[in-house]
Chains A and B, each alone.
Chain A
Amino acid sequence: MLKSLKAPVLSFLGFILIGVVLEFGFSAFIQITALFVLVNIILAMSLNLVNGTTGQFSLGHAGFMAVGAYVSAYSSQHWVPLPESLGFLNFIIYAVLAGLFAAFFGFLVGQPSLRLKGDYLAIVTLGFGEIIRVALLNMDFLGGARGIHAIPTLPEGWGLSRFMSQYLFGLFWTVTCFFVLWRIIHSSHGRALLSVREDEIAAEAMGVNTTSMKVRAFVIAAFFAGVAGAMSAHYVRYISPSSFGFLKSVDVVIMVVLGGMGSMTGAIFAAILVTLLPEVLRGLQDLTGVDLRMVIYSLALILVMILRPKGLFGEMELPDLWRRYVRRSS
Chain B
Amino acid sequence: MSDALLEVSGITMRFGGLKAVDNLSFTLKKGQLGGLIGPNGAGKTTVFNMLTGVYRPTHGDVKLGGRSMVGLRPYQISHHGLTRTFQNIRLFKNLSVLNNVLIATHQHARTGLWAAVARNQAFRKEDREMRERALDLLKIFKLDGKADEQAGSLPYGQQRQLEIVRAMATQPKVILLDEPAAGMNHSETHSLMETIARIRQDFQLTVLLIEHDMKLVMGICENIVVLDHGVKIEEGAPERIRSSPKVIEAYLGVEEE
* A to B CB contacts below 8 Å, 6 in the list: A180-B117, A188-B126, A191-B95, A198-B94, A205-B86, A206-B106
CB contact between A207 and one of B93, B106, B119 (< 8 Å): that residue: B106
- Kindly state whether residue B161 has any CB partner on chain A within 8 Å: no
- Kindly state whether residue B166 has any CB partner on chain A within 8 Å: yes
A194-B103, A206-B166, A207-B107 in contact; A201/B116 too (CB < 8 A)?
no
Contact residues of B between 71 and 91, Cβ < 8 Å to A:
73-75, 78-79, 83-84, 86, 90-91
Chain A interface secondary structure, helix, strand, loop or mixed? helix
Contact residues of B between 159 and 209, Cβ < 8 Å to A:
166-167, 169-170
Q: Do B116 and A202 touch (CB < 8 A)? A: no
Contact residues of A between 185 and 221, Cβ < 8 Å to B:
187-192, 194-195, 198-199, 201-210, 216
A198-B94, A207-B79, A210-B75 in contact; A1/B103 too (CB < 8 A)?
no
In the bound assembly, the distance between CA atoms of A195 and B90 in angstroms comes to 11
In the bound assembly, the distance between CA atoms of A195 and B86 in angstroms comes to 15
Q: Of all chain A residues, which has the CB nearest B85?
A: A205
Residues of A within 8 A of B (CB): 1, 3-4, 179-180, 183-184, 187-192, 194-195, 198-199, 201-210, 216, 315
A184-B113, A187-B123, A194-B95 in contact; A206/B86 too (CB < 8 A)?
no
Q: Of all chain A residues, which has the CB nearest B86?
A: A202
- Kindly state whether residue B254 has any CB partner on chain A within 8 Å: no
Using C-beta atoms within 8 Å of the partner chain, give the interface range for chain B.
Answer: 35 or more
Residues of B within 8 A of A (CB): 52-54, 73-75, 78-79, 83-84, 86, 90-95, 99, 102-107, 109, 111, 113, 116-120, 123, 126-127, 130, 166-167, 169-170
CB distance from B5 to the nearest CB of A (A): 18
In the bound complex, residues from chain A placing their C-beta under 8 Å from that of B54 are 201, 204-205
In the complex, the 4 A-B pairs of residues with the closest C-beta atoms, listed nearest first: A207-B107, A187-B116, A207-B78, A204-B74
In the bound complex, residues from chain A placing their C-beta under 8 Å from that of B167 are 205-206
In the bound assembly, the distance between CA atoms of A207 and B113 in angstroms comes to 17
Q: Do A205 and B103 touch (CB < 8 A)? A: no
CB distance from B132 to the nearest CB of A (A): 14
Q: Do A198 and B92 touch (CB < 8 A)? A: yes
In the bound complex, residues from chain A placing their C-beta under 8 Å from that of B84 are 205
CB contact between A191 and one of B52, B103, B118 (< 8 Å): that residue: B103
In the bound complex, residues from chain A placing their C-beta under 8 Å from that of B86 are 201-202, 205
Q: Do B104 and A207 touch (CB < 8 A)? A: yes
In the bound complex, residues from chain B placing their C-beta under 8 Å from that of A207 are 75, 78-79, 83, 104, 106-107, 170
Q: Do A201 and B107 touch (CB < 8 A)? A: no
Q: Do B83 and A315 touch (CB < 8 A)? A: no
In the bound complex, residues from chain B placing their C-beta under 8 Å from that of A194 are 92, 95, 99, 103
In the bound complex, residues from chain A placing their C-beta under 8 Å from that of B99 are 191, 194
CB distance from B104 to the nearest CB of A (A): 4
Q: Of all chain A residues, which has the CB nearest B176?
A: A205
Q: Do A206 and B83 touch (CB < 8 A)? A: yes
In the bound assembly, the distance between CA atoms of A252 and B139 in angstroms comes to 43
Q: Do B93 and A209 touch (CB < 8 A)? A: no
CB distance from A322 to the nearest CB of B (A): 17
A4-B118, A202-B92 in contact; A187/B127 too (CB < 8 A)?
yes
Q: Do A199 and B127 touch (CB < 8 A)? A: no
Q: Do A206 and B104 touch (CB < 8 A)? A: yes
